A = this chain, B = another copy of it.
Amino acid sequence: MTTGSAERRGEAVPLRLKKSERRRQILLELKLQPHVRNGDLAERFGVSSETIRRDFDALSGEGLIQRATGGAYAPAHGHHPSLDERSAAHVAERDRIGRRAAALVADGETLMVDSGSTTIAFARALAILGTRCTVLTNSIPVAMTLATGEGIAIRLCPGDYLPAESALVGTDTLDFIDRFNVDRCFIGASAISAEGPSEAVQGFAAVKRRMLKRAACGHLLIGSAKFGRKGLARVAGFADLDSIVVDRAPEGELAAALAVSGTDILVAQ
């Protein structure tokens, strides 16, 4: 009668899971809780904490989790930072741009804010300033960031949930945006050329366009690293933008195009 390994243990011990299944559960757990502890998981799966540590190593190698002493956590609110957005230089850029843009907002104004890493930086700056305002957004990280500030009313768009960006897109989103009129809107873009800003994700381009249409004043937040590049879908012409907020003044063709359309250029810091 050999083993019968489950019976031999005979306990309420959770029966031994395969490695892959255990790792899948770790990832799922991280969707529930932002942080898991090494020891807790070891106990729950009935394995040694060394094994969990090895799981962490493997998963973090694939970029699915991030490690911290004593545990692991999910990578940034489900919002995938593509490689180039990781460098410290770009973080500083975005912070400066975000602060400059937030300074444009006056108490009592209504805003629309788009999805993207630059607009998250903007949201953060706005929350720090403590400007009282109403914000409509299709980005979950933006909503969560703004929620730390006092006196900011947040309205989230409906739509199809896009996990990679934690944002909402689709016709529901567009229809919803159409129902509002706001003082300003703040959008990002994945590229900007003399023809105007463009966006890699097509669903986003439509949202940005719609926001610009419903706002009295449109602001584009974009880092100089994206100057002169072109994305898949054109978002708008410069005529639709009242100002662009950048970390460095544009030059050449781009500067000329902006001059023609009369778009203000706000250089952060």
Contact = CB atoms under 8 A, between A and B. Distances in A.
A149 to B, nearest CB: 8
Q: How large is the interface on A (under 10, 10 to 19, 20 to 34, 35 or more residues)?
A: 35 or more
A24 B35 CA distance: 21
A268 interface: no
B73 A35 contact: yes
Given A31-B144, A73-B34, A156 B159 contact: yes
Nearest to A81: B33
Q: Determine the main DSSP class of A at the interface with B.
A: mixed
Interface of A: 24-25, 27-28, 31-35, 37, 66, 68-71, 73-74, 76-78, 120, 124, 127-128, 140-141, 143-145, 147-148, 153-161, 163, 166, 168, 172, 176
Q: Report copies per complex.
A: 2
Contact of A147 (B78, B127, B143, B176): B78
A31 B148 contact: yes
A74 B34 CA distance: 7
Contact of A34 (B35, B158, B161, B163): B35
Nearest to A74: B34
Contacts of A74: 34
Nearest to A38: B69
